[in-house]
Amino acid sequence: MSFTLAVVGRPNVGKSTLFNRLVGKKLALVDDQPGVTRDLREGEARLGDLRFTVIDTAGLEDATDNSLEGRMRRLTERAVDMADICLFMIDARAGVTPIDEMFAEILRKRSAHVILAANKGEGSAADSGVIEAYGLGLGEPIRLSAEHGEGLNDLYSQLLPLSEEFEKRARDDAPETDVDLDDTDEEGDEFDDLPPQPTAEKPLQIAVVGRPNAGKSTLINKILGEDRLLTGPEAGITRDAIALRLDWQGTPMRIFDTAGMRKKAKVQEKLEKLSVSDGLRAVKFAEVVVVLLDAAIPFEQQDLRIADLAAREGRAVVVAVNKWDVEDEKQEKLRALKEAFERLLPQLRGAPLITVSAKTGRGLDRLHAAVLKAYDVWNRRVPTATLNRWLTGMLEQHPPPAPQGKRIKLRYMTQAKTRPPGFVVMCSHPDKVPEAYSRYLINGLRQDFDMPGTPIRLTMRGQN
Ligand code: GDP
Ligand code: GDP
């Protein structure tokens, strides 16, 4: 479990310098192609033994004066909503400016955890700025020099307790058991671990992915019920992925929009890579991934790749076939789609396939239900006693093979994790269990415990 830190503040205070220092390499696209660094960028940061995601609200410099404030506000709000912690940076040499005050106000209202940093803090020229920073009402500022790497210890000391808090919260939310051979579940424990429900604090994270023009933006806008994604003529505002909070039919959700993916055709080589990684980021961010297909051209290479990626990353997947409003032979088409789905994506066996029209809104109820169900399945925990009764039945029905006349013994089984469900089978010769036998067990688990679609991990382990 890690957390996300957003670095926010007005242009030129040193956000990117800190970002680069935390990420440790020049991951950013630093050239001045318009629109490239305009939005949010994200990197994997390390600070001491902490590992976390850092978001930088880079590149507002090129905004014209009258749009700067609004843009900054929107971008900052977005970053704040995506993050667990905000690092608010001011320039200690310049002191506190009115724009800094505006930021402070946004953060006080919107962010649960703010760390205040007075950057460019090396040398005595920064002294008065550091003192002014107290006046922002956001607690004691860290005196930082992003450029010289000073003050990072103080940053670490502020992040550490928060990180521990998030970790504890994650543990409490999703109790993970280690494989424990003494774990003797009692009868009736079927009702113990009810799957967690999405809450305002922990909304269900969903991403809509798919090829350009599949209808992702249309769908997200329909779900949001307003035209919030394309917020006007400012190019690049949706280039990078953004996260939006919403209540979809009463379910608190965060939806990850990768609108940027569709603008791919217009940009060059380097950006191309960035856009592809958008899809990856979306998948990593999400608990449930909605793979949106265009009914006219379903299951293209790109669709298959992203669906496979989602499965490999262990995400719950819902396939939605869009533009269903323009299909005539609906019955026949649906049959063909289901057949293609099973053939092309066997790793997602049983995942729901929902036909929708993002344009008219038809099918969105069913999509909502499928997303919730997928989330539920993804979180499901099967009690150990139940599992082992089940395993006994499976072994009787179809005993494992006996290579060289020696039967492989599957002794005991437990669910080691959720999100997605992962099972461990203790057995005599883990390396000799054929793939086909594991598949038999996985398919059995899917069917008997009603876990369609979700990736199921099954590990064979020898006893030691
Ligand atoms: P951003 O617009 O907030 O991302 O700011 P940048 O990271 O691009 O930095 C703006 C300028 O401030 C650059 O010229 C940096 O070299 C400089 N800068 C960043 N951190 C420090 C620092 O700790 N001390 C000093 N003196 N300059 C810094
Ligand atoms: P994105 O690139 O995946 O975000 O796709 P867009 O949302 O921009 O949609 C691409 C095109 O498909 C637009 O012209 C939309 O109007 C159209 N479109 C999206 N959803 C539907 C739908 O359900 N039915 C029909 N007929 N057209 C749709």
Determine if ligand 1 sits within 6 Å of the CB of residue 14.
Answer: yes
Listed residue (277, 274, 236, 271) closest to 34, CA to CA: 236
* Percent above pLDDT 70 for the chain: 78
Pocket test for ligand 2, best of 209, 216, 217, 218 (most atoms within 8 A of CB): 218
Please report, in range form, the residues annotated as the binding site for GTP.
9-16, 56-60, 119-122, 210-217, 257-261, 322-325
pTM over 0.90: no
Listed residue (382, 373, 437) closest to 407, CA to CA: 437
Q: What is the pLDDT of residue 250?
A: 85
Please give the single-letter amino acid code of residue 342: E
Determine if ligand 2 sits within 6 Å of the CB of residue 357.
Answer: yes
CA 340, 420, 53: angle at the middle one, nearest 5?
Answer: 110
Q: Which atom of ligand 2 is nearest to the CA of 214?
A: 3
Tell me what the pLDDT averaged over the chain comes to: 79
Average pLDDT per block of 10 residues along the chain, 464 residues long: 84 89 63 42 83 75 57 76 88 93 86 91 91 87 93 90 78 47 38 63 86 84 64 38 75 72 40 52 85 92 86 91 93 93 87 94 94 91 89 93 83 86 89 90 91 86 71
The C-alpha atoms of residue 382 and residue 279 are separated, in whole angstroms, by 31
Interface predicted TM-score (ipTM): 0.54
Ligand nearest to the CA of 18: 1
Helix axes 384-397, 435-448, angle to 10 degrees: 120
